[in-house]
Amino acid sequence: MEFVRQHLQIMARTRGPIASARRQWEVAPVAEDVPVVAGDVHTQGAEAGHDAEGFPSGPCDPLVLTEYGDHVAVSIWNREERPELKLFSHGRKVQKFGRPAPEIEGLVDAIGLSPLIVCSVEIGDRGLISAFVERWHKETSSFHLPVGEVTITLDDVASLLHLPIIGAFHTFEPLHVDEVVLMLVELLEVSGEEARIETTQCHGAYVRLSWLRDIYQRRCQAGHWTVAAHAYLLHLLGCILFANKSATHVHVVFLDAFRDFSQSGSYAWGASALLHMYDHLNDACKSGDRQLAGYITLLQCWIYEHFPSVVERLTDPDYDELSPRACRWIATKASLKSISASTYRQRLDGLRIPDVCWMPYGEHQAVWEFDLISCFSDHL
């Protein structure tokens, strides 16, 4: 992917903003849940953004946090009701789908995406994640906490997920529906009529995850393993790495990354996951947004690792130390406690430097080494 910027800040209390980039994978409208957009509840806050004195108990210099007037923090300060975010996490779809057929399992592993099959929490903690999203700021690409600014880094991605963070970026070009049909015909070996019916049903350059599962099963039965791998990998990206708010669709443009398997293994999938998560956080911290998509597991397990005093965590007693760190955490309906965002908000308000685990992966570096690229904290 061609990125104008990478949010690759080292975890620290930094101040410098990181440049923003347009999302190159969300290039067409998708049939998805429409967010409940609140009215203009920030009129007073937005007007304050043009005042040299800034915001009450907020930034005194509005030139730094330029979009603070539309931030959810203004609503909270004004004591306006803020529902907990609706989370779109599709890890259970992957778990039910199962591991790839033995004939393509080595291929999925060589590309570097096999950790995605097992690195998914079952349930997202809405209260916990909502409380953290309230403190995310697009301009600095970081969570603003009492201990300073903290963010998810490439080291977190590498340690938690074991995804490659160094490599090439694939450029996803916007696709016309006719181009999508041709790609489906070529890479999934469906008829032009079937491809057009599917894209028409999805209202654009998308296909249903359920349709992909059916294609995968049919190609496995026919022994067309390359095509089966295409379907499996696109399903994996749609459920995990590039999950959107539709809960049922995936953009066909990602299929182009698997046109040449010899190149697919050279991509920095971990950096892509981080950037995609940042972009969804940028949306979710706005006052009118009520939903969060992206790789929820990455965010939730990052919180588990660094903020033990904020959330009660449950570890898997059968965790294999050689596995990605995200696999050590259990998040099920039975294990998660119904703690509200307001309670987590109070815990974050009382956060102190000793409460944060700044370097949680020391023992894990014997399994997955720290890479110096994780220290990158400038514009690209």
Assess whether pLDDT exceeds 70 at residue 6. Answer: no
82-91, 170-179, 219-228, 240-249: range with highest mean pLDDT:
219-228
Segment 298-312 shows an average pLDDT of 95
Per-residue pLDDT, 19: 33
**Strongest mean pLDDT among 65-79, 127-141, 320-334:** 127-141
- What is the band of 20 on the pLDDT scale with cuts at 50, 70, 90? very low
Q: Which of 146, 145, 204, 210 is nearest to 175 (CA)?
A: 204
- Residue 57 confidence (pLDDT): 64
- What is the DSSP code string of 193-212? HHHHHHHHHTTSSEEEHHHH
CB burial of residue 368 (10 Å; 0-12, 13-18, 19+): middle
pLDDT of amino acid 173: 82
Does 272 score more than 60 pLDDT? yes
Give the tens place of pLDDT for each residue, 104-121: 999 999 999 999 998 888
pTM more than 0.85: no
Burial 229-264 (b: 16+ CB within 10 A, else e): bbbbbbbbbbbbbbbbbbbbbbbbbbbbbbeebeeb
The torsion angles phi and psi of 296, rounded to 5 degrees, stand at: -60, -35
Cβ–Cβ < 8 Å for 240, 94: yes
**pLDDT at residue 380, as a whole number:** 45
List, for residues 307-325, the tens digit of each pLDDT value: 999 998 888 899 999 999 9
Neighbour-count burial for 2-40, b at 16+ CB within 10 Å, e otherwise: ebeebbbbebeebeebbeebeebbbebebebeeeeebee
Residue 202: the pLDDT is 93
Least confident among 37-46, 79-88, 156-165, 306-315: 37-46
| Mean predicted lDDT score pLDDT of the chain | 83
